[in-house]
Amino acid sequence: MSIRLYVLRRLVLIIPLLIGLTLLTFIISRVLPGDPVGLAAGPQATAEIKEALRREFGLDQPLPAQYLNYLTGVVRGDWGESLYSRRSVIADISTYFPATLELTITAIAIAAALGVPAGVISALYRNKLPDQITRVLALFFVSFPAFWLAMIFQLIFGLELGWFPVGRRFAAIETPPAAITGMYVLDSLLHLDFESMRMALSHLFVPALVLSFGSLASITRITRASMLEALDKDYVRMERAIGIPNRVIVTKYVLRNAMIATITIISLEFGWLLAGAVLVETIFDFPGMGLYAVESSLRLDFQPIMGITLIYGVVFSLINILTDVVYGILDPRIRYG
């Protein structure tokens, strides 16, 4: 099967999955005992006010009709409105998602920058002290509750040392770069506005660092394991036997092979970090998907909740396909089938 056909087939297969997902979240959201309408209507709301709100949001219709309305809306790009803020869900997601994406990309970059060398060191010094130390460190960092570590880091880097801002995406008083992608760093780069880029990066660094810890352990472990596997290969032993310097073998053969597994794990981690951002965003007042998800959930504001899970579903599925494709390109032995 050609790669194009393979991707196409995978893309088509996402659709029933996403329909299933919307059904799942719809069921979850409609069996709730709570009264989000009452909350949105305010503490002194009369029955008429609540009824008007219910009608406006189509909640007076039978459930199957509501679900059908939702599905057709989703296809048309209308993901409904928040009961509480009355803002369009798709508009809110398009504001919040780039923020979280940017945070996650930075975090995964930090995690890879720390984790891959750590894994390499671990493998090269297998079972010796540096190996033990790196492994313990990786486990150490992944064991912290992210929200707690975020508080501590905010205190240390933001308040005590004053190196970084205490939260948010950008200095409030300044206008962020005009949106192209919605990701401030990329946008400021596209505008060649380096001052803004520096500001965006300084806001990103601490939350991204905290977030990256969640992935450090697995990236380190997989890098180490695949390095070891490659080091064990016959041709590597052969090369070593004929006297090629270790440094050359490692950089030329082993690293490249080990990269395949590592890239896979990095792309998998990416999806997990996207979710982990929920907790970090809460602490850093970082206006992204995580804050949006938490606030909506606590209000049982189901339209955003459904939109959020759907967009995560789409992104996760795409990442999975991308991972498989990249994997195939890096390792020609894999065939698409």
Considering only residues 62 to 91 of the shown chain, the ones binding other proteins according to CB under 8 A are 82, 84-87, 91
Locate all alpha helices (DSSP H) within the chain, ordered by sequence.
3-30, 36-41, 47-56, 63-76, 89-124, 129-142, 146-153, 184-190, 194-231, 234-241, 246-249, 255-284, 289-298, 302-330
Candidates 126, 22, 116; CA nearest to 74 is: 22
Rule CB under 8 A: say whether 146 interacts with other proteins.
Answer: yes
Window 241 to 270, contacts with other proteins (CB under 8 A): 247, 250-251, 268-269
What string of DSSP letters covers 103-151? HHHHHHHHHHHHHHHHHHHHHHTTTSHHHHHHHHHHHHHHTS-HHHHHH
Window 169 to 208, contacts with other proteins (CB under 8 A): 169, 171-176, 195, 198-199, 201-202, 205
Window 112 to 131, contacts with other proteins (CB under 8 A): 113, 117, 120-121, 124, 126
State the greatest distance between any 2 C-alpha atoms of the chain, in Å, as a whole number: 87
In this chain, which of 100, 104, 134, 218 binds other proteins, going by CB under 8 A? 218
Rule CB under 8 A: say whether 316 interacts with other proteins.
Answer: yes
Smaller CB separation from other proteins, 79 or 276 = 276
Rule CB under 8 A: say whether 95 interacts with other proteins.
Answer: yes
Rule CB under 8 A: say whether 139 interacts with other proteins.
Answer: yes
- Smallest gap from residue 238 Cβ to other proteins (A): 19
CA angle 122, 123, 128 (to 5 degrees): 60
The count of chain residues that interact with other proteins, using the rule CB under 8 A, is 123
- Smallest gap from residue 250 Cβ to other proteins (A): 6
- The b/e string for 253-271 (b: 16+ C-beta within 10 A; e otherwise) is bbbebbbbbbbbbbbbbbb
Secondary structure of residue 331 in the 3-state scheme: coil
Rule CB under 8 A: say whether 48 interacts with other proteins.
Answer: yes
Candidates 266, 255, 263; CA nearest to 228 is: 255
- Smallest gap from residue 330 Cβ to other proteins (A): 17
Rule CB under 8 A: say whether 330 interacts with other proteins.
Answer: no
Rule CB under 8 A: say whether 280 interacts with other proteins.
Answer: no
Smaller CB separation from other proteins, 4 or 75 = 75
Rule CB under 8 A: say whether 279 interacts with other proteins.
Answer: yes
